[in-house]
Amino acid sequence: MLAPLAVAAALCAFAASAGAQMLPRVKATPAPAAPKDAPGADTPPPPITLMADDVVSHIGNVTQASGKVEVKRLDMDLHADYLTYDQLSDTAHAQGNVRIDRGLDWFSADRVDLELTRDAGTLVGTQYELGARKAGGHAQRIELIDRNRSTAYDANYTSCTRDGTSEPDWIITGDKIDIDTSTNEGKAQHARLVFLGVPILAAPSLTFPVTAERKSGWLPPTADISNRSGVALSAPYYWNIQPDVDATLSAGASTRRGAELSGELRYLQPNDLGQVTTYLLPDDMAEQNETRGALEWAHEGSRSDWLTYSARIQRVSDSKYWIDFPGQMPSLTQRLLPTDLSGTRRFLPFGDAGEIDAYARVERFQTLQDPDEKDPSSLISSPYQRSPQIGLRGNVNLADQVRLDFEAEGNRFDLSDQGAFNNAVAFNNAAAGFNVPNCLGPVYASQLDGCSLTDKRVGGSRAHVIASLSRSFSSDWGHFEPKLAINGATYRSDITSDGTRIDTTRWVPTLSGDSSFSFERQTELFGRGLVQTLEPRFLYVLTPRRNQTDLPLYDTAPKDFNEVSIYSTNPFTGEDRIADENQLTAGVSTRYNDETNGRELLRVGIAQKFLFSDQQLTTDNYLQTNPAADKQKVSDVLLYGSSSAMEHWSFDGIVEVNPSSSSSLTQRAVVSARYHPGPFRSLSLTYRFANGTSGGNGANGPNSGSGASQQYEVGGQWPVYHQPPRANGCGGTLYAVGRVDYSVTDSRATYAIGGLEYDAGCWIGRVLVERTSTGSQQSTTHLVLQLELNGLSTLGTGSLRVLKDNVPGYQPLRNDPGASAATPNSQ
């Protein structure tokens, strides 16, 4: 009969024969030291509770229990078939199906000696699991030193299931394994790492993380394989400097380039966060022993709401760096590397009625050209660099009726990379053996007739002021906002090669009225209750004509033609061009929303501009010295829409149509479809088309007149094979993953990555090939081989980031935040 008793009561309640049989001890346990006097020493210790089928107390403060024995103290539970408790030594001696549950960890053993108060003791014939990792193994003996520390002898460790007779897929074995959860470190002496029965790593000492926290230590050696660097091996070291600062340092060598060093520092402070990444080739054997390297720093910070600042710096040693190491440069444009420093200070002089932001910025670029490129059209021209940009912007509500918005800004623009571009033009022309015809290559701010490829721009200064007054009228069914704006700018350029300069000021007013409406009705489609909206919108813009063809183009470009830009008052970004307009943009869209949850199932819309007078300055002629006015009365038609009405499917598209075009009705189109039936199952297809011929009335972006461009983008992640779990619990699923960008115009893949991932439950293997086009006739190929041992570390080449950044809808097969350091060393 089950008899639950408090241990204290069991020790004092009954007497029995002193010669009763007792369980043998695993080892002799010394008497505990006398407790030291300390504040709060009179606080009673946590109670110990004993439950069993049979409990007998003996003279000498010894208690015996048998049959479903359970001892509880705090979060520690001990279960056994037989138990002897010695009160003087505070030691429990247990045997027979012994199991200890302690927090997230558990131990099972044949025999146990355990000092309950100290959580210390010896376990023989043991299995164990560290719950934070769901990893553990077997040991001939385990010494529990205290709550956080233990030592296992003749032991192993794995995150694979340890049931059954077969050996786990991966396992670490060692003569001794020390585990310390307070420092997040497991250390195996004379260790071997075996994968699928094959030893892949051996070291006198191997350390690994035992909790989900980060730890310092040597990471496994890594390899990298590419057609430009050969085989590279490196030994990284992870340094957990403090909870909010860490670093990874690595030294290695490649077969084609020699020794290399790299480092990464990350920090996360209460008001600042950032990352610094460096790479150095002290003596590149592939480039005449040239020293090469890269630096990247990204930072964001703030001081409450009144001051924010940021920095982004990317720099490399030479102009061919982007060709040899494209994977190291996560930039929007790998050939224009930014240096961008900015800060904003907010003021509230108007209380709740408005605010003013003072800002400053320095923006520069490093432009990379391939000195061996024979096609001049592959050269790029560096944009103007701001050094600096200083300004004020703000808003204030006047009498709660009229809103005043304003901006005042000064910029200094320069072209520090202009000489490199012109030298590359001259070199490539000479290497090609012929004179390049005018306008063959890109035309960047080449405002001179003849479109010479040589960059003849000059720097200068610009100050501008923008102010607007608007009044908003709103109701439940509509909104109307009239606005009067003025844009003034003054220019003073540097002296040109012919000894002239631009020194002028221009003012451009704009009157606009923006109105939108929203109507709803209940409807039903395919037996589904829906709410349909009808949303017309009208924007009228009146801007007088101002001659701007002689002004520089510092930061101005045509806006993309989409559902946002078609309702803007100016088709250009920046302040150097403001189109003359007397036009009405009219459009309507409709949405179908699920009436039960409000989810948007379908959205379609159409918009077009109607011109009431000829337009002198358009996005098609803004580069011309004497542009001819556009006399068309309507712009291209914009069609757009998206849908998720079909289960697991989503569609999105935007199409620009020119009804009056004789060559091509469609001017531009971006259409995409995605199928996502469940986790780790995603397929996507995107089609992009751009007609090279001109559109009408400033609706289109700049066109080169070089013909149509077509591109397909296909990508996804999908399981292709599944293996049921084996006897040891490890099954597996094979996934195909990849993406291809194929240019129909160039008849080649501009980017491709593809391969296989295998998830075996306790490990993940990846084999991927990445190909990046770095020129019209060249590319870089990178082989990615990875073995991710769950609960331990990742071995191999490449980074999982390449899949996250490039494969649409990709989901990582496992998120294991603590598997960052498996450390071989020579101790």
pLDDT tens string 524-543: 887 789 999 999 999 999 99
pLDDT at position 426: 60
Range from 57-71, 438-452, 544-558, 562-576 carrying the lowest mean pLDDT: 438-452
Q: Going by C-beta distance under 8 Å and a sequence separation of 6 or more, which residues neighbour residue 83?
A: 23, 50, 52, 64, 65, 66, 69, 71, 92, 93, 94
What is the model's pLDDT at position 332? 53
Q: What percent of the chain clears pLDDT 90, i.e. is strictly above it?
A: 44
Task: Identify the band that residue 329 occupies on the pLDDT scale cut at 50, 70 and 90.
Answer: low
Residue 427's CB is within 10 A of a number of other CB atoms, namely 15
Residue 105 has a pLDDT of 87
Residue 449's SS3 state is coil
pLDDT of residue 333: 64
Segment 148-163 shows an average pLDDT of 87
Q: Is the model's pLDDT at 686 over the cut of 80?
A: yes
- Higher-pLDDT residue of 503 and 775 is 503
Q: What is the pLDDT of residue 471?
A: 94
| Whether the predicted pLDDT of 287 surpasses 90 | no
* Contact yes or no for 669/655 (Cβ under 8 A): yes
Q: What is the mean pLDDT of residues 500-510?
A: 94
Task: Write the pLDDT tens digit of every residue in 667-676.
Answer: 999 999 999 9
What's the mean pLDDT when you consider all of the chain?
A: 82
More confident residue, 576 or 785: 576
- Asked if residue 678 has pLDDT above 60, the reply is yes
Tell me what the mean pLDDT of segment 219-228 comes to.
82
**Helix H or strand E segment including 13:** helix 7-13
Strands (E), 658-777: 666-678, 681-690, 709-723, 732-743, 748-759, 763-775
pLDDT at position 443, please?
Answer: 36
19-28, 236-245, 553-562: least confident range: 19-28
Q: What is the pLDDT of residues 163-173, one digit of tens each?
A: 766 788 889 99
- Dihedral sign, CA of 393, 398, 400, 403? negative
pLDDT (mean) for 752-768: 91
- Please report the pLDDT score of residue 440 as a whole number: 37
Q: How far apart are CA 638 and CA 656, in angstroms?
A: 5
Question: DSSP letters along 369-426, please?
Answer: --TT---GGG--PPPPEEEEEEEEEEEEEETTTEEEEEEEEEEEEE-TTHHHHHHHHH
C-alpha–C-alpha distance, residues 660 and 141, integer Å: 86
Greater confidence, 434 or 463? 463
Residue 331 pLDDT class (50, 70, 90 cuts): low
Rounded average pLDDT over 778-799: 81
- pLDDT at residue 369, as a whole number: 78
Per-residue model confidence as pLDDT tens digits over 40-51: 445 567 788 888
Average pLDDT estimate for 198-217? 81
How far is Cα 363 from Cα 310, in angstroms, rounded to an integer?
Answer: 12
Rounded to an integer, what is the distance from CA 470 to the centroid of its chain? 40
Cis status of the peptide bond prior to 388, with omega within 30 of 0: yes
Give the per-residue pLDDT at 339.
92
Please give the average per-residue pLDDT across 381-394, as a whole number.
Answer: 91
The per-residue pLDDT for 42 is 55
For residues 803-821, give the mean pLDDT: 72
Question: What is the model's pLDDT at position 659?
Answer: 83
How far apart are alpha carbons 334 and 751 in whole angstroms? Answer: 14
Residue 518, pLDDT > 60, answer: yes
Determine which of 155-164, 499-508, 738-747 has the lowest per-residue pLDDT on average: 155-164
Q: What percent of the chain has pLDDT over 70?
A: 83
Give tens-digit pLDDT for 388-443.
Answer: 999 999 999 987 789 999 999 999 999 876 666 666 666 555 544 434 443 333 33
What is the per-residue pLDDT for 116?
A: 85
DSSP-derived pairing of the beta strands 649-657 and 637-643: antiparallel
